């Protein structure tokens, strides 16, 4: 199961569901999983199809997820974004309409879109580049963050994700992020996890890492696709993420299914709302912030 950011307003209201969650976590903590080559291969195939679909959308000027909607629905969606709502959808990539098998793993694929009023593309990018501050912006979900390197159109970032619920879960994660401008007011960023290691005894003197890919399987891969556009007096910011975790035990799948859907929804809603507030605050405090990553069209 994916554990990345705080749940925000997501609350477990059903005692039965809570018991199922406890059972799933206990199962995961007792029985470790190992990331298998066929799981990696299936994930890579899923990502290839996802990126093909994104490229097709860009060619047809479907820059945001709501741009796929019929005209009337699209206008209503943009009106809702202008009122401060967050648009979130769960996605399922297919291969010519056929579901994709994921042996030994589970895909979490979601997209969310938010409007940030009164800021520029430079304001938004300036904050997203400030990786050393992620631990302050997204705490306690991000316990540590560090910009490793940065050059034209590229960043390497190291973070530690943290979540304390029934159990404490933490992962050390390294990312490569590639930025590309699509004109003066549009920007895309592809972020790929290059290493994710679950942390044992987090925060203790004996803190250490499990071997990569041989842990409890809470998070094995995390890829993100950011789309930003400056218009309508602000910036539209969309994040699409694809995460890979171990599968839920078959005997608990139906019971835990609502939780599997509600948690990423809450995660994404919290992340986008936090980012919106942070960009607005950052723009006020750094009105002359400049983009340091150069355009590479």
Residue 186 has what pLDDT? 97
Residue 281 lies in a domain: yes
At residue 237's C-alpha, the angle toward residues 231 and 238, to 5°, is: 130
CB 117 within 8 A of CB 97: no
What's CA 297's distance to the chain center, in Å? Answer: 24
**In-domain check, residue 2:** no
Whether 224 has a pLDDT exceeding 80, the answer reads: yes
Tell me whether residue 154 is in a domain: no
Residue 136: pLDDT above 80?
A: yes
Q: Which helix (H) or strand (E) holds 20?
A: helix 15-30
Which pLDDT does position 258 carry in this prediction?
Answer: 59
Closest CA to 183 of 289, 292, 296: 296
Rama region for 201: left / alpha / beta (φ>0; ψ in -120 to 50; rest): left
Pairing type for strands 168-181 and 142-151 reads: unpaired
The string of pLDDT tens digits covering residues 67-79 is 999 999 999 999 9
State mean pLDDT over 128-154: 94
Supply the range of the domain harboring residue 62.
Answer: 15-126+161-285
Separation of alpha carbons 259 and 20, rounded Å: 10
Distance of CA 16 to the CA centre of its chain: 28
pLDDT at residue 27 greater than cutoff 80: no
Nearest CA-CA partner of 227 in 219, 235, 218: 235
Q: Which residues pair with 110 in a beta bridge?
A: 90, 241
Most confident range (mean pLDDT) of 7-11, 24-28, 120-124, 262-266 is 120-124
Q: For residue 279, what is the enclosing H or E element?
A: helix 253-285
Lowest average pLDDT, out of 15-29, 59-73, 106-120, 200-214, goes to 15-29
CA distance 66 to 261: 20
Confidence of residue 28 (pLDDT cuts 50, 70, 90): low
Instruction: Decide if 208 contacts 199 (C-beta within 8 A).
Output: yes
Confidence check: pLDDT of 296 > 60? no
Q: What is the pLDDT of residues 168-210, one digit of tens each?
A: 889 999 999 999 999 999 999 999 999 999 999 998 999 999 9
CB atoms near residue 231 (< 10 Å): 11
Percent over 90 (pLDDT), the chain: 72
Inform me whether the pLDDT recorded for 87 exceeds 90: yes
Inside any domain, residue 151: no
User: How many separate domains does the chain show?
Assistant: 1
pLDDT band at 248 (very low <50, low <70, confident <90, very high): confident
Cβ atoms of 148 and 134 within 8 Å: the answer is: no
The answer to whether residue 100 sits within a structural domain is yes
Q: What's the pLDDT tens digit per position in 144-154?
A: 999 999 998 99
Answer yes or no: is 210 within a domain. yes
**Percent above pLDDT 70 for the chain:** 81
Position 184 in a domain: yes
> For the chain, what's the residue count?
297
Counts for the chain of helices (H) and strands (E), in that order = 6, 13
Residue 121 domain flag = yes
User: Does residue 19 register a pLDDT over 50?
Assistant: no
pLDDT tier at 9 (50, 70, 90 boundaries)?
Answer: very low
């Amino acid at each position: 199961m994916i554990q990345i950011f705080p749940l925000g307003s997501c609350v477990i209201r059903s005692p039965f569901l809570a018991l199922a969650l406890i059972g799933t976590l206990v199962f995961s903590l007792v029985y470790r999983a190992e990331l298998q080559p066929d799981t990696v291969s299936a994930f890579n195939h899923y990502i290839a199809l996802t990126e093909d679909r994104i490229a097709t959308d860009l060619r047809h000027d479907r820059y945001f997820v709501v741009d796929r909607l019929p005209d009337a629905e699209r206008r209503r969606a943009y009106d809702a974004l202008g009122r401060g709502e967050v648009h979130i959808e769960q996605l399922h990539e297919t291969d010519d309409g056929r579901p994709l098998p994921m042996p030994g793993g589970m895909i979490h694929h979601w997209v969310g879109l938010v409007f940030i009023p009164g800021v520029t593309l430079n304001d938004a990018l300036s904050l997203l580049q400030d990786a050393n501050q992620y631990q302050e912006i997204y705490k306690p979900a991000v316990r540590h963050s560090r910009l490793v390197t940065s050059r034209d159109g590229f960043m390497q970032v190291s973070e530690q994700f943290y979540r304390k619920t029934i159990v404490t879960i933490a992962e050390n994660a390294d990312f490569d992020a590639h930025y590309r401008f699509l004109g003066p007011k549009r920007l895309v960023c592809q972020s790929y996890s290059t290493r994710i290691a679950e942390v044992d005894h987090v925060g203790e003197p004996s803190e250490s890492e499990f071997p990569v890919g041989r842990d409890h399987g809470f998070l094995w891969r995390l890829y993100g696709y950011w789309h930003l556009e400056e218009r309508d007096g602000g910036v539209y910011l969309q994040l699409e993420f694809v995460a890979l975790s171990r599968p839920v035990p078959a005997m608990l799948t139906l019971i835990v299914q609502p939780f599997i859907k509600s948690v990423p929804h809450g995660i994404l809603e919290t992340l986008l709302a936090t980012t919106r507030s942070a960009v607005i605050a950052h723009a006020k405090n750094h009105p002359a912030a400049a983009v340091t990553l150069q355009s590479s069209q």
